[in-house]
Copies of this chain bind each other. A is one copy, B any other.
Amino acid sequence: MLGNFVYYNPTVLYFGRGALSALALELPNYGPKVQLIYGGGSIKKNGIYDQVTALLRETGKEIVEDPGVMPNPTTDKLYEGCRIARAHNVDLLLAVGGGSCCDYAKGVAVSAWCEEDPWEKYYVRREPPDNRVIPVGCVLTMVGTGSEMNSGSVITNPVTKRKVGPEFGEAAYPKFSILDPVFTYSLPKYQMTAGIFDIMSHILEQYLTDLDDCTSDYIMEGLMRSLIHSSRAAIRDPYDYQARSNLMWTATWALNTLVEKGKTTDWMVHKLGQSVSAFTDATHGMTLSAVSLPYYRRMLPHGLPRFKRFAEVVWEVRPEGKTDEAVALAGLAAMEAWMKELGVALHLRELGVTEEMIEGIADGATILKGGYKVLTRQEVSEILRESM
Contacts and interface: CB of A to CB of B under 8 A. Distances in A.
Contact of A230 (B213, B242, B246): B213
Contacts of A221: 222, 225
Contacts of A8: 11-13
Interface string A347-384: 00000000000000000000000000000000000000
A220 interface: yes
* Number of this chain's copies in the complex: 2
A190 interface: no
Interface stretch (A15-23, A53-61, A74-82, A326-334): A15-23
Interface string A214-245: 11111111110110011001000000011101
A188 interface: no
Interface in A176-210: 181
B7 A15 contact: yes
A153 interface: no
A250 B19 CA distance: 30
A279 interface: no
A28 interface: no
A247 B28 CA distance: 41
A256 to B, nearest CB: 10
A262 interface: yes
A249 B13 contact: no
Contacts of A250: 215
Interface in A87-135: none
A261 B3 contact: no
Given A8-B13, A15-B5, A249-B262, A225 B230 contact: no
A174 to B, nearest CB: 12
Name the residue among A219, A250, A262 with the largest chain B CB count within 10 angstroms. Answer: A219
Given A10-B10, A222-B221, A222-B222, A215 B246 contact: yes
A141 to B, nearest CB: 17
A4 B15 contact: yes
A212 interface: yes
A338 interface: no
6 contacts: A2-B246, A2-B249, A8-B11, A213-B243, A215-B249, A218-B226
Contacts of A9: 9
B253 A219 contact: yes
Contact of A222 (B2, B6, B10, B219): B219
Contacts of A70: none
B230 A223 contact: no
Contacts of A223: 215, 218-219, 222
A245 B15 contact: no
A337 interface: no
A49 interface: no
